[in-house]
Amino acid sequence: MPLYNAYLILLLLYFSVDYVQPSTVKDEHQFDLLIFTQFWPATVCTEWKEKSPAHSCAMPTRPDSWSIHGIWPTRLGTREPSFCNRTWHFDPEQIQPIEPVMLQVWPNIEAETSTYALWSHEWTKHGTCAAVLEPLNSELKYFSQGIDWLEKYNMLDILKIANIVPTKEKEYPIIDINNAIVKELGVRPQIECNKVDGKNQIFEIRLCFNKSLELTDCDGVKYFGEYNSVLTNCDPSQDIYYPHNEGEPKRLYVQLYKLISWLQWFTL
């Protein structure tokens, strides 16, 4: 019994200490790191198509390019914070100067949703939390930072240095992918796979930055397991497939195709 009481007191102390921390930012909006996530369009596309046979993909115009998913402020051990300011809506006008670049490097691959759907989601869920940092305190700054980081840390280039290139011919051990990044950047990434036709396929690579926007290890970030000191969810019993991004009809053609199908249906 006394031991039990001691635990109870410790537990109470722990929670009360947690509650009295003074802060200018709401506690639930605090974060430790920013995760910068790039995704592999071929895998995003497969996932989207699996959700419905009616789905098609608007693939990036540059072949075999990684594209940006988002910049996510993160408290270690949680997936929070998110939606830090629900009145700060995404406004496409704010990013007009960079929209042509955004369409190249941060495209919405899910062709049946709005061009702005991904940006709007990233801004309201993550950008409004990142905005407590001066270098990210507007839409224009938030999205420009993503573009800068993709240019600087593009996974196509980083993996190519270790001869890891998109191909149908072979698969790569997770250790090799991880080590290529660690060797080039000096920090531990997170690597996410999806199962596609029973194969481990590369999906996302995440880099972590501290609040001074300096690269840092992703250790302690929620969700991923660890396998041979690689932060990953990829099934360790298989190597990883890194296929080419298949050419797909561009968004315009998809829209045209839908219009024509609709007209055909209408005039029949």
CB atoms within 10 A of CB 82: 15
Closest listed residue to residue 176, CA positions, set 150, 195, 202 = 202
Distance CA 133, CA 138 (A): 10
**Contact pattern from residue 191 through residue 230 relative to ligand NAG, giving x for each residue in contact according to CB under 6 A and a dash for the rest:** -------------------xxx-x----------------
- 24 touching ligand NAG, by CB under 6 A: no
- How many chain residues bind ligand NAG (CB under 6 A)? 7
Residue 80 beta carbon to ligand NAG: minimum distance, rounded to whole angstroms:
17
Write the DSSP assignment of 38-49 as a string of letters: EE-HHHHHHHHH
Is residue 87 a contact residue for ligand NAG (CB under 6 A)? yes
Q: Find where tokens 């996510």 sit.
A: 72
Q: What is the separation of C-alpha 108 from the centre of its chain, rounded to a whole number of angstroms?
A: 12
In whole angstroms, what separates CA 260 from the centre of its chain?
34
Whether residue 244 lies in the annotated active site: no
CB of 102 to ligand NAG, least distance (A): 20
Near ligand NAG by CB under 6 A: residue from 64, 88, 99, 219: 88
Question: In the stretch 155-194, what mask flags binding to ligand NAG with x, by CB under 6 A?
Answer: ----------------------------------------
122 is catalytic: yes
**Pairwise CA distance, residues 130 & 137, whole Å:** 7
By residue count, the chain amounts to 268
| Distance, CA of 89 to CA of 28 (rounded, Å) | 20
Nearer to ligand NAG (CB atom), residue 171 or residue 217 = 217
Contact set with ligand NAG (CB under 6 A): 85, 87-88, 210-212, 214
- Give me the active site residues, please: 69, 122, 126
